[in-house]
Structures are given as C-alpha cells and as structure tokens.
Amino acid sequence: MPQVVGIRFRKGAKVYFFDPGQFAPAIGDSVIVETVRGVELGIVASGVRELDEAQVPQPLKTIIRMASDDDLRQVEQNAGSEKTAYAICQERIAAHKLEMKLVDVEYAFDNSKVTFYFTANGRVDFRALVKNLAAIFKTRIELRQIGVRDEAKMLGGLGSCGRPICCGAFLGSFQPVSIKMAKEQNLSLNPSKISGLCGRLMCCLKYEQDHYERARRSLPRPGKEIDTPDGRAVMLDVNAVKETVKVRMLSGDADDINEYPFAVIQRLAPVRVSADSADDDSLSSEDIVMIEEDVPPAPETDA
C-alpha cells in the first residue's frame, strides 16, 4: 500500500494527500508541494501512513522539500501584501460601482497570481475591474465568486455553542442539511435558533441525524399503541439522545405518563419501518423556514 501524508493549505480547508518521498514530516510541519495552482506551502495535517490504493487520488504528487526559513518569511510577506491588496480592491470596487462584497485575498506562494474572493446577490460584470487590478499588481488576477457558507468558513467566528464555527475549524467540505433534520430532532423551527453565522441551517444538524433515523426506523411512531412492562400505552415522544420513549398509559389514570428505555419497547414491540414510510417531509405553513440557495459561482476570469 502506498504511503501518504495529509496536507492542508488553509485553516479548516480540505486535506489533500501527497507522497512523502524521502521526507518524514510530522503534524504541524510546513512543506513545499506542487499543486494544480502551482507551487504552494502547506501544513501537514496528518502524518505519514499507509492508505489503500483505491483511496489514493491519482496522480499522487511528491513533496518537493521541507519549508525553509526563507519560505516562511515569504508567506509572511504575502500575508502583508494581501492586506494591502484587499484595501486597494475595495477602493476599486467602489470606483467601478459594483454590487459585490470582497471577502478575502490570497497571494500564490510564488506571487504568480492574486485571487480575490467575493460574494454577490447575482452575476457581476467585473471585466473592467480585472483589467484595472492587473495594471496595478502586474500579475495574474483571478476573481472568484463564493457562497455565504464559504464566506463564513473563510472569516471564521463563534457559533451559538460558544466554540469556533465547525466549517472554519475542521470541516473540509459542507454536508447537505435540510429543515427535515431540525423537525426530526424536535428543535425549534425559529430561523434564529437553527441558523449559523452564514444565515443557513447549522452544519451540526447533520451530526446526530443518523442516530435519529435509526431510532425512528426501529420504534413505533408517536400516536401508536404499544405494549409496555406495565400494560398497553400510547407513544407520545421519542428521545433519541437519552434513548428513551415517553408513553401515556391506557389503563388507570389518563394522565399517567411513563418513560422506558428503547431496548424495553423494542423487545416487546419490534418494529420494521421502511425508510420511505418513516420519512414525512410535509411541512405546515408554520414550519416553513425560507432558506436562500447559494448563488452559483460566476465564471473565473484571469488576467
């Protein structure tokens, strides 16, 4: 099996695999590699390990060298140049009266290209802006339109949990999130409660979804009569986190509410519900939360 090392080029970005070659970099080391965008400096995110050949993307490029002090100084200089370029681009956007929001600027390691990331409500004709920036920076210019999720990933911030947002900390790519997940997890459908800094549904709704789906498939649905150790009862609620169900007993006091572990109910009333019949996507007018779609990126323009 081939040996690979995982390298990340931006904080919270996707990890790419490279052949370590003659080097044995440790996590946190800086290395120089060749990518489709040219020569780049990356940070080792996972150490050298063997990986099944089917999981290794081809062709697998080899690390050129370990980063030197001069390479690290070059990165620092690029960071300073990015701040200057950001201010200049902001000024040029205002001068051209373009309806776009500049998010970030990225210099290629060898200064062969400057990439400007921006958001906009629709397509933007930035051809004149590209020519203007190329005349100022004397290098190749790329303007790339991104969505609001990518904007939050680049800028970072703190989520409602008080921790750095997931996309800016460790998520390499975004997973599909739907309003149905919030319904199945019995969360408030108030947009302010289930939306992240980007204004879209929080990525963390996906984390426990598989567990909730398994619970729904293996248990009777609320409203069904079931057998319990204390007699017949009606299902009221399923708590997938605590792995318990709440029921109302049919005998005795009408307000007699009991709670039982999943295992007890599954043993007394095993249920096999298909995924199709278990899913209920119907939303009432009170449940609907408007989620605006990401704007598709505009074609990249280089100069």
* Radius of gyration of the chain, Cα coordinates, nearest whole angstrom: 26
Is residue 144 within 8 Å of 118, Cβ to Cβ? yes
CB neighbourhood size of 171 (10 A): 18
Confidence band for 73, pLDDT divided at 50, 70 and 90: very high
Q: Please, what are the domains in the chain?
A: 3-67 (no CATH), 73-146 (3.30.300.20), 151-206 (no CATH), 210-278 (2.30.30)
Specify the pLDDT at position 268.
Answer: 64
Q: Residues 6 or more apart from 45 whose CB is under 8 A from it? A: 6, 7, 8, 15, 27
Specify the pLDDT at position 94.
Answer: 93
Q: How far apart (Å, rounded) are the C-alpha atoms in residues 143 and 268?
A: 62
Specify the pLDDT at position 293.
Answer: 37
Is the confidence at residue 131, as pLDDT, over 90? Answer: yes
Per the listing, tokens 């398994």 go with 214
Mean pLDDT of the chain: 81
Half-sphere exposure of residue 194: CA atoms within 13 angstroms, side-chain side:
23
pLDDT, average across residues 54-82: 88
Backbone φ, ψ for residue 274 (5° rounding): -70, 155
Q: pLDDT of 225-258, one tens digit each? A: 888 888 888 888 888 877 888 888 887 666 688 8
Backbone φ, ψ for residue 238 (5° rounding): -120, 125
Structure tokens at 232: 């017949």
Report the candidate in 239, 150, 159 with the shortest Cα–Cα distance to residue 202: 159
Specify the pLDDT at position 101.
Answer: 93
Specify the pLDDT at position 98.
Answer: 93
CA distances to 50, 61, 66 from 20, rounded to whole Å, are 11, 9, 10
Is the confidence at residue 87, as pLDDT, over 70? Answer: yes
Report the candidate in 146, 132, 145 with the shortest Cα–Cα distance to residue 91: 132
Is the confidence at residue 4, as pLDDT, over 90? Answer: no
DSSP string, 48-85: EEE--GGGS-SS-PBP-EE--HHHHHHHHHHHHHHHHH
Per DSSP, the three-state class of 280 is coil
Structure tokens at 249: 């007993």
CB neighbourhood size of 93 (10 A): 21
Specify the pLDDT at position 301.
Answer: 44
Report the candidate in 82, 77, 78 with the shortest Cα–Cα distance to residue 103: 82
Q: pLDDT of 132-152, one tens digit each? A: 999 999 999 999 999 899 899
Strand 113-119, strand 140-145: pairing: parallel
Q: Between 214 and 164, name the one with better pLDDT.
A: 164
Q: How far apart (Å, rounded) are the C-alpha atoms in residues 257 and 266?
A: 18
Specify the pLDDT at position 280.
Answer: 43
CB neighbourhood size of 8 (10 A): 16
Strand 113-119, strand 101-107: pairing: antiparallel
Total residue count of the chain as it appears in this document: 303
Q: pLDDT of 18-36, one tens digit each? A: 888 888 888 988 999 988 8
Q: Between 277 and 77, name the one with better pLDDT.
A: 77
Specify the pLDDT at position 254.
Answer: 61
Q: pLDDT of 257-295, one tens digit each? A: 888 887 777 766 654 444 444 444 433 333 333 333 343
